[in-house]
Amino acid sequence: MLETRNLTKSFGPIQVTKSVSLKLEKGERRVILGPNGAGKTTLFNQLVGEIIPNAGSIHLDGADVTALRVADRARRGLSRSYQKNTLFDALTIRENLGLAAAVALGKGQGLWSDPLQSPEVRETVREVAALVDLAPNLDATVSAVSYGIRRQLEVGIALATRPKVILMDEPTSGVGPEMSKGFHRLLKSLPRELTILIIEHDMDLAFDVADTITVLNYGEVVFDGLPEAAKGSQLLKDIYLGAWEDA
Amino acid sequence: MTADLGFWVLQMLNALQLSMLLFLLSVGLTVIFGLMHFVNLAHGSLYAFGAYVAASLAGVLGYWGGFFLAPLAVAAMGAALYFTLIRSQRRAGPMAQVLITFGLIFVAVDATRLVWGDLPIGIAVPAVFEGQLSLLGVEYPIYRLFIITLGLAVLGVLTLILSRTQIGAMIRAGVDNDQMAACLGINVERMFFLVFVVGCALAGLAGAVAAPVLSVTPDMGLQILIPTLIVIVIGGLGSLKGAVAGSLIFGFVQTFGAVLLPTLSSVLIYALLAAVLVARPQGLLPAKG
Amino acid sequence: MFQHTPLRLTTLALLAAGSLAYTFAAGFFGLEILAEIAILAILVIALDLVAGFGGMVSLCHGALLGVGAYAFTVAATEAGLSAAPAMALAIALSAALAFAIGAVCARSTGIYFIMATLAFGQMGYSFVFQSPLFGGDDGLAGAPRPDLGAIGIDLTDSRAFAIYAILLVAVTYLVAAATLRSGLGRSLVGLHHNEKRLRALGLTVWRAKATAFAISGALAGLAGCLAAQHTQYISPGLLSWTVSGEALVVVILGGLGTLVGPILGAILFVVLKHEISALTPYWHAIVGLILIAVVMSRANGVVGFVEARLATRKPQPLVKEAKADA
């Protein structure tokens, strides 16, 4: 469904992604682990096209999308959420979700009707709001709601495009353990055919939801396999926990 | 006509003279923007104010009285503006700044009309620089050569200050990264004030030297504004090198365009600006990589 | 996003009723002023559409108006078209140019966008000023008013012309409001707040910006046609950047991003201009001072000021929100 081949990116002399090759099957849930500065977010930025890699290729649903721009990749079913909330602050939550759904449905340039009133968009907004637990807050303006709710909306917007592949960049960063747990439930309730790639710091969450685990360190894939294998891996402990202790 | 060497020399000198005048104006505006992220549309009005002060003082103290006092008067005006409007609007965003300084232009134009009237004022070239000088077979007014020399001298001094002195290093650091500069213990507030006032003084100087060449009218500030903005956008906001490059490009395109492609000349510079904005939205030599 | 609050709807209704009533009460001079207000109102609604909702602060709207005025005049006098097709042609030309400008400037934001539009506007000004085809500095005369004799209306009469101008303001308002409710309008508001996210959601950003700018440009072109029909003489001064600057001032005075506000701003501006200029030749300075005061007060123009006042007095919206939460 989503594949990278030898993806490489440098900023000046620093290689932030070193020949990363990943392959996600349809419906796979993969968690990317790695210390700060391992190149996880840079990898995401390359996957969606916000950063252009120096070498290597990206394939989405069998097609090479390396040369496609951000919006074109999004239209092919790739969606992402951001580590730092990237919302429409002055709009209501309903409008945020509606806008995302409208754009994904190709209604973002339409002139003749209000997409937020269209049945498809309203249906998507209702569904996504139920999924990410935002139904009670739909008419609140983003700038007036709590950080936790914004965090849910961040993922909600990504889901409102009804993607084939969703990339989530630390969806639970900065929220409490209670909300983190709620997020586990959310992830498990998502349709099984949705392919999910998550950057996560919380190891428990990672092992709870992951079908497979990839560990990045200094821009390199140092582990790629099943969670059970990762759990016992001395390598993972050394790199990941070692870096934690350093930090 | 174009085969004649004299023609080329003459046009080169004209272009250089226009470039240097624009440089005096744009360098202050661009460094103020680079450092403070402040867009001052009223910069042209400060130039007009300088020209009026110089023209008024020329009658009393002679040309040189105006030449030296006009920049001081404009600097004082700049300081007053800094404390009343500029400082409080520094973080207000480009829109608020554009509007406030646009309002200032309205006020400035009418204030000059009120004080000096609607009629153009002319002043004479100082006695030392009267007459023509023969240069490569071309008779060229000495006063215009003086403008070129003055522009080059200011460029030299500013380059030295920016590259060799501590305050210059601070300004460069501030343009590069204002938070970093504040962390390094630089008194950012005082540096802003200094740069703003020096920028205003240079605009006043430009007005004073332009006064004998152009006629001094209430709308001269408005007329010079667009060329100045074009210079700094082509050159890249915030950089000294950009101001130099932009001034030279504008001066030469405008001057040679007018004689070689008279029907297209005024559109030419705007087309060039559009091309720069499309190809390099940050200008040719932006302050930040 | 754009909303028709009861206050705004009431204001609109009062404006419509008041202006129509005034057309029957006013003398020749009043009707001329009314037409002048209508032309400015169309231009500032067009500008508010892109600047207030899309954050695309344009300094080329004066030029787009001028293009409309010149295209209409040339099409009607030189090409001999009748008024309606000449208007359609002029509006289409303004829209096409605005689309191109919007597409080229789509990558620029903030002050760079302002400068880029300024450059394009000045380019148009210089072109018209220099080209002999357009009469240069002397301008062009002879733009006709549409012939509505078939339905018994004579637009050479200033009362009929004022009503016609007010109707065009209403059309403009409806076009702008409909645009804001469309998918494009929703995207435009979204772009203002978060361009990066919309791109990641799959929006072709440059096309959305260019299309919105084209609609705004078409409306500015309409204002230009009306201006040409009103004075029946046009000069390059119409394209000057100070016209764009004044339009921006009017939008700010009325309330950015409110659509209703700019109409109020246009009324205030034209009336103030005539009142103050009767008293002193220095009316620009007074406008400048008012502008500075409004921007420094941080109120969003007249409409923003009134709405903020009402909001602090009546806590009703908060109660509604709490109900929705429960």
pLDDT in tens, A39-51: 889 999 999 999 9
**Spatial distance between the Cα atoms of B209 and B148, rounded to a whole number of angstroms:** 10
In-domain check, residue B190: yes
pLDDT of residue C316: 45
Q: Which residue's structure tokens are 């959420």?
A: A81
- Residue A132 tokens read as 């990410």
Chain B partners within 8 Å of C290 (Cβ): 103
CB atoms inside a 10 Å sphere around CB B46:
30
- DSSP class of A239: I
Instruction: Determine the length of chain B.
Output: 289
Q: C322 — contact with chain A (CB < 8 Å)? A: no
C230 contacts C63 by C-beta, under 8 angstroms: no
Q: Between B61 and B4, name the one with better pLDDT.
A: B61
- Residue A29 tokens read as 């849930």
Cβ contact, residue pair B102, C248, below 8 Å: yes
Cβ contact, residue pair A111, C183, below 8 Å: yes
Minimum mean pLDDT among B230-234, B271-275, C298-302, C317-321: which range?
C317-321
**Spatial distance between the Cα atoms of A12 and C185, rounded to a whole number of angstroms:** 40
- DSSP class of A237: I
Our CA-based measurement puts residue C41 at a distance from the nearest CA of chain A, in whole angstroms, of: 23
In this complex, which of C112, C131, C281 lies closest to B281 when CB atoms are compared?
C112
Chain B partners within 8 Å of C247 (Cβ): none
Our CA-based measurement puts residue B64 at a distance from the nearest CA of chain C, in whole angstroms, of: 32
In-domain check, residue B253: no
**Spatial distance between the Cα atoms of C207 and B89, rounded to a whole number of angstroms:** 33
Mean pLDDT over each residue of chain A, to the nearest integer: 88
- Residue A116 tokens read as 């937020």
Tens digits of residue pLDDT in B166-188: 888 888 877 777 666 667 666 77
Beta strand A212-217 with A220-225 is antiparallel
Our CA-based measurement puts residue C284 at a distance from the nearest CA of chain B, in whole angstroms, of: 5
Chains B and A touch (3+ CB pairs under 8 A): no
Cβ contact, residue pair C183, A100, below 8 Å: no
Cβ contact, residue pair A89, C197, below 8 Å: no
In-domain check, residue B155: yes
Cβ contact, residue pair C104, B278, below 8 Å: yes
Taking CA–CA distances from C191, the nearest residue in chain A reads A88
- DSSP class of C106: T
Interface of C with B in 273-302 (CB under 8 A): 281-282, 284-285, 287-292, 295-296
Tell me the domain boundaries of chain C: 6-239
Cβ contact, residue pair A112, C182, below 8 Å: yes
pLDDT of residue A13: 83
The chains in contact with chain A, meaning 3 or more Cβ pairs closer than 8 Å, are: C
In this complex, which of B33, B89, B273 lies closest to C119 when CB atoms are compared?
B273
Domains and CATH numbers, chain A: 1-77+163-247 (3.40.50.300), 87-162 (no CATH)
- On the CB side of B24, CA atoms within 13 Å amount to 29
Helix B166-176 / helix B5-36 crossing angle, nearest 10 deg: 70
A84 contacts A170 by C-beta, under 8 angstroms: no
Query: Which residues have a Cβ under 8 Å from the Cβ of B137 and sit 6 or more positions away?
Result: B5, B6, B9
Our CA-based measurement puts residue B128 at a distance from the nearest CA of chain C, in whole angstroms, of: 38
pLDDT band (50, 70, 90) for residue A105: very high
Query: Which residues have a Cβ under 8 Å from the Cβ of A207 and sit 6 or more positions away?
Result: A213, A227, A230, A231
Cβ contact, residue pair A109, C202, below 8 Å: no
Tens digits of residue pLDDT in C120-150: 898 899 888 888 788 888 889 988 999 888 8
In-domain check, residue B272: no
Pick among A51, A75, A88, A157 to test the C interface (most C CBs inside 10 A): A88
pLDDT band (50, 70, 90) for residue C319: very low
Cβ contact, residue pair C296, B85, below 8 Å: yes
Phi, psi of A214 (to 5 degrees): -120, 135
Tens digits of residue pLDDT in B11-40: 999 999 999 999 999 998 988 888 888 888
What residues pair up with A3 in beta bridges, in sequence order? Answer: A23, A59
H or E segment at C45?
Answer: helix C28-54
Q: C194 — contact with chain A (CB < 8 Å)? A: yes
Q: Between B121 and C72, name the one with better pLDDT.
A: C72
Say if residue A234 is exposed, middle or buried (CB neighbours under 10 Å; 0-12, 13-18, 19+).
Answer: exposed
Q: What is the mean pLDDT of residues A218-237?
A: 79
Chain B partners within 8 Å of C120 (Cβ): 270, 274
In-domain check, residue B148: yes
User: Which residues of A make CB contacts under 8 Å with C?
Assistant: 48, 50, 70-72, 74-75, 79-80, 82, 86-91, 95, 98-100, 102-104, 107-116, 136-140, 157, 161
Chain C partners within 8 Å of A88 (Cβ): 189-190, 193-194, 197
Expressed as residue numbers, the domain containing B44 is 21-218
Tens digits of residue pLDDT in C223-256: 999 999 999 999 998 998 889 999 998 999 999 9
Query: Which residues have a Cβ under 8 Å from the Cβ of B282 and sit 6 or more positions away?
Result: B236, B237, B288, C112
